[in-house]
Amino acid sequence: MVCIGVAPHSVRAVPRPWLKELRDFDGPIHAHVAEQPAEVAACRERWGMSPLQIFAQAGLVDHRFTAVHMTHPDPSDAELLRQSRAGICACPTTEMDLGDGLLPLELREDISLCVGSDSHARIDLLAEARALEWHARALAGHRNVMAPNAERHRLGRAALSARLMRAATLDGSVALGASGQGLGPGQPADVCAIDLSRRAAHGVPPLEAAIFNSSPDWVTDVWVQGQRRVHSGELVDGLEDESVD
**Residues 117 and 13 occupy one common structural domain:** yes
Domain containing 207: what range? 187-245
**Residues 171 and 241 occupy one common structural domain:** no
Domain termination residue (choose one: 146, 178, 210): 178
* Position 242 pLDDT exceeds 60: no
Maximum separation of any 2 CA atoms in the chain, in Å: 57
**Residues 173 and 191 occupy one common structural domain:** no
**How many domains is the chain built from?**
2
**Residues 73 and 117 occupy one common structural domain:** yes
Q: pLDDT digit string (tens) for 103-153?
A: 999 999 899 999 999 988 888 999 999 999 999 999 999 889 998 876 666
Cα separations in angstroms, 83 against 56, 75, 78, 111, 112:
12, 14, 9, 9, 12
Q: pLDDT digit string (tens) for 10-59?
A: 999 999 999 999 999 999 999 999 999 999 999 999 999 999 999 999 99
pLDDT computed for residue 152 by the predictor: 67
| Contact of 94 with 179, CB cutoff 8 Å | no
**Residues 172 and 192 occupy one common structural domain:** no
CATH code of the domain in which 194 resides: 2.30.40.10
3-class state of residue 88 by DSSP: strand
**Residues 4 and 97 occupy one common structural domain:** yes
**Residues 53 and 163 occupy one common structural domain:** yes
**Residues 145 and 193 occupy one common structural domain:** no
**Residues 141 and 212 occupy one common structural domain:** no
**Residues 114 and 89 occupy one common structural domain:** yes
Q: How confident is the model at residue 239 (pLDDT cuts 50, 70, 90)?
A: low
Share of the chain above pLDDT 90, in %: 80
Edge-to-edge strands, sheet with 191-194:
191-194, 219-224, 227-231, 234-235
* Position 206 pLDDT exceeds 70: yes
Domain termination residue (choose one: 158, 178, 198): 178
* Position 244 pLDDT exceeds 70: no
CATH code of the domain in which 128 resides: 3.20.20.140
- pTM, two decimals, is 0.92
Domain termination residue (choose one: 178, 207, 228): 178
pLDDT computed for residue 154 by the predictor: 63
**Residues 167 and 201 occupy one common structural domain:** no
Cα separations in angstroms, 32 against 55, 72, 144:
11, 11, 27
**Residues 127 and 28 occupy one common structural domain:** yes
